[in-house]
Structure 1
């Protein structure tokens, strides 16, 4: 088990960045235990968070190769660019928005409406609500 300490400063210049750094880290590991404390030093107030974690185990399942035709590959590439841009703006890992498997399914099925997007296997209602309009806009550009 490993340990990492984060300090989340509360001032407007640092709070979002500190949280984004911690969130990115949490997305990349398997959290076992956390402990938080509010710290007041007289000049700076912050949350101190201790994270006990293990490295994520790689999936030992063999990777399935999915064939995409030329159009599907172009759509998949455009969706990845959209996802990466959005993730960068939010300070998130791109896979926090959706996984490559979701984008491949969308590229293959090529839904043309929110209702059709809802039918894409494992994409989910929450992702459809949050990102559906953007995804349909990307798809409609083809």
Structure 2
């Protein structure tokens, strides 16, 4: 059986910016526990742009943004991009995550730009590029797979 191509209407994001921010506030309040950490700047069908708001807690010795902070930004941003395609699914989880650190990010906000390469019934594969705010030079590249729970 051949799958019908998606129309522009089918590619509309399943959540608005306000809806995804409200969802994150209710379902994942821990991401803002020590003050604002992330800002969703844009959401589309399988795409998202998210900001890591600079704070001293994201730095490692040597004055660079830590790897765990970059990994968390990419993971949350890819989750948001997936929600843009499948709607508010709490239990979509990361099953594989690979990051390449490309260059040392100076202190400041980081931007994750995400897109999905494939969104299936049970698995989705996406990628994220992280860059310092206001620059185009990538500091990290991420590829991740998420498990999508069965619809009930």
With normalisation by structure 1, the TM-score equals 0.26
TM-score (norm 2): 0.25
The structure with the largest strand share of the pair is: 2
Larger RCO, structures 1/2 (Cα 8 Å, 6+ apart)? 2
Whose Rg is larger?
Answer: 1
Which has the larger helix fraction?
1
